Amino acid sequence: MDGVKRWRRWAVFILGALIGSQFACGGGNDSTKANHEALVSRIAFGSCANQTAPQPIWDAIIKFDPQVFIWMGDNIYGDIKRPSKMFGKERTIGPWKNVPRFVPTSQYEMNFKYHIIKNHPAYSRLRHNLNTKIIGTWDDHDYGLNDAGKEFPAKVSNQRLLLDFLDEPLDSPRRMQAGIYTSYTFGPVGRQIKIILLDTRYHRDPLSSDGTILGSTQWTWLEKELNGPSSAITIIVSSIQVISNLSATTGPLFYMESWGRFPKERDRLFQLIADSKRNGVFFISGDVHFGEITRYDCDVGYALYDITSSGLTQAVEKAVPAPFHFVVRFLAWWTPSTMRVIGKNCRHRSCTYGQPNFGAIEIDWDATPVALKIEVRDTDGIPAIGVNISLSELQAQSVNSAATLRVGEHQKHCSLEVDLPWIVRYRLTILFYFSVAVLLFALVGLNFAAAVVFRLFLRKCKLD
């Protein structure tokens, strides 16, 4: 009898310990599960946040009241940017460049920079909002070095720093794997949103290699994710642009990172989406310091959109004085893009936005069919560019396939930038060199005129 009592006491003790541990440690899991099952209709996203720059944009994001906020990379600028020098002992730019423009910093300094932005008063308000789930991935500057890939030696330690910044649980699988790719599913069955976060850094081959971006392990994982349980909407988060390949039209003046610089990988990505027969897929991206919406109609049976929001603090127009903003906007309009969405919902003619911005997704689940409003908004929360999409448009066979194009024919949202006629593809470069030539001729002409005037002045003085 005493033995039975002892076993009962032990049973009560063990049961109490289990219940206590559930309340102490597992309550958060139940809460997270409940939050993930709640209907999500507002998602915000952004990239490129310099921790030392003013950040008024958080007020507009908080006012939007997102249920999910997505960091898309360059969440801090952890590396060091050297001054632009074409001459001298250390030359960081130009044909005689002999030292890197960017250099990595210490783990201590990286952690300190994360501390600055994590404790920014406005961002802290968003982070402590129980109704907002914050998730994210990284790009090069928070990875540790501009344009770096799999060769970067500090990627393991910097992965831990990023996951600490995102408040990732200590037992998260993301802390055990090589790379920070993961996925989340929000919302009730029938109205679920799947968010796939890619890691475009940890396994990426050199930029000029046309090798891999994701690496074999991540590709296997992504295939399982896309072929897994269906969802009404699937958002694939890439730190670099997927659809747009502006480097094909801005080179050789300058180049930007994108999936277009790895054409085999981009083709593989599109084919994987097509083979999965998954509907409701679109991309969001960052990196380029301007906002843009692009689409590609000729691969998966429906329009693939890529909404680029960049950046929260960093933007191309901030790099030049205000009187010259019109030049930036003109060049954005002049640079050819076969994929950019041009419409009435654009503040500027180019349908790009070069001031600080964030992305906003609103979903009207009660509309028939379900309606999505996706916008790039300014620091006041006012839309600068946007697109309205019916979920029925993101269904297979809702657009014509690439097979309808004849050889040599070019079609908006279907022909790649690299296939443009050379005089169109390189018109930005042509304009640049033409402008330089005109400027040189003007300088030569001015010098000649000045010399002539000076000689006439001397002759007049001698006559006098």
* Pairing between β-strand 193-197 and β-strand 281-285 as defined by DSSP bridges: unpaired
Which residues sit opposite 361 in a β-bridge?
43, 374
- Burial label for 375, CB within 10 Å (0-12, 13-18, 19+), is buried
Give 110's Cβ-side CA count (13 Å radius). Answer: 26
9 or 305: whose pLDDT is higher?
Answer: 305
Q: How many helices (H) and strands (E) does the chain have?
A: 13, 15
State how far the Cα of 161 lies from the Cα of 174, in Å rounded to an integer.
12
- C-beta separation of 372 from 362 below 8 A: yes
Task: Count CA atoms within 13 Å of residue 151 on its CB side.
Answer: 7
Question: Over the stretch 114-168, which tens digit does the pLDDT of each residue have?
Answer: 999 999 999 999 999 999 999 999 999 999 999 999 999 999 999 999 999 999 9
Confidence of residue 11 (pLDDT cuts 50, 70, 90): very low
CA-to-CA separations, 306 to 236, 292, 309, in angstroms, rounded? 9, 8, 10
Which band of pLDDT confidence, cut at 50, 70 and 90, is reported for residue 104?
very high
Section 446-464 average pLDDT: 82
Write the DSSP symbol of residue 258: B
Residues paired with 460 in a beta bridge: none
pLDDT at 2 over 80: no
The mean pLDDT of the chain is 89
pLDDT in tens, 155-205: 999 999 999 999 999 999 999 999 999 999 999 999 999 999 999 999 999
